[in-house]
Amino acid sequence: MASCCSIRPVACLKPHEMLSRLRPTWLLFILLCFTAANLYYKFKWNTPNLYWLWPQSVCSCQKCLAEGAHEFKSLIDASPKPFLSIPSPTTEDDFNWWKKLQIEQRSFAFLNETINNLFTIFPHVPQIEQPSPDRCRTCAVVGNSGNLRGSHYGPLIDHHNMVIRLNRGPTKGYESDVGSKTTHRVMYPESASSLDNSTHLVFFPFKINDLLWLLRSFAPRENGQENPKRIGNKNLVMIVNPAFLKYVHEIWLKKKGRYPSTGFMTLVLSLQLCDEVSVFGFGADRDGNWNHYFEILRNKKLRTGPHPGMQEYEVIRELHQRQIIRFFQGL
């Protein structure tokens, strides 16, 4: 019987014979690698205005909101401009929806006149940090739920770039649970408080009177001096577009309830402003009570009024389960 080497398989070849057989293959492989590398560098240096063949991240976070699931991205893309500005006024259709919230009788023309007066005081376009591949805009949205008591979330909240607080939610005396940092404060006239000179005022108007109140709060005196009653830095005022309220109600909440809560609208707003969003202080406490961390609960039958609280809570939980936001549910 012939040995296995009589048919000269590769395994039986001597080393110098094997090398001679493989050399053409290696030479071809090296030539192909050299050609590919040459084409890559020609493409890189001669096409500076083109993106790479692979996607470039929109932020430097481990996971960017703008790169979320398709159905989530479609919700974000459906948003109108979230803030009023000179190039982005609200429409008459949006006004007609908005004025029903508080039974507004004045006209669309009066609204536009009021907005024009506001922009003689405030910046025509609000200050918003834009997305960038070398930046990660982390945001903490801090509600006022009683489930924050004893949570010790304070240091975690303060670690975020932006900390957005709601209405009169205090920090002094509650630092260990809610933190001490505030970059943005959401309010409307009935929930207003004075702000320091570095905090953005995120103003939610529910009626024309709210806009008139804002105008009075910042308009200079007749002699041109600053208004002593102004509640914040006029250069850091951001007025939410009534169209945005309508968008949150119809697209996110499917028209449940009369209109969304300020807290839920703030959460949806943060998805427009941030690359990563963490949510604190939403929902009931561990006993099922809807209360505030800074108040003693007296009415255990208190719920969420005209706002669809449970619907909003379920949307927040779903966003958390799909890893779009991080939801810290407290104690």
Give the whole-angstrom CA distance, residue 67 versus residue 40. Answer: 26
Segment 186-194 long-range contacts (CB within 8 Å, at least 24 positions apart): 186/262, 186/266, 188/262, 189/213, 189/214, 191/167, 191/262, 192/217, 192/231, 193/167, 193/168, 193/231, 194/231, 194/232
Give the whole-angstrom CA distance, residue 68 versus residue 97. Answer: 30
Question: Is 184 within 8 Å of 157 (Cβ atoms)?
Answer: no
- In the block, residue with structure tokens 């080497």: 5
Question: Is 259 within 8 Å of 269 (Cβ atoms)?
Answer: no
Which residues lie below 8 Å from residue 12, measured CB to CB, with a gap of 6+? 4, 5
Active site amino acids: 259, 307
What are the tokens at 295?
Answer: 């108040």
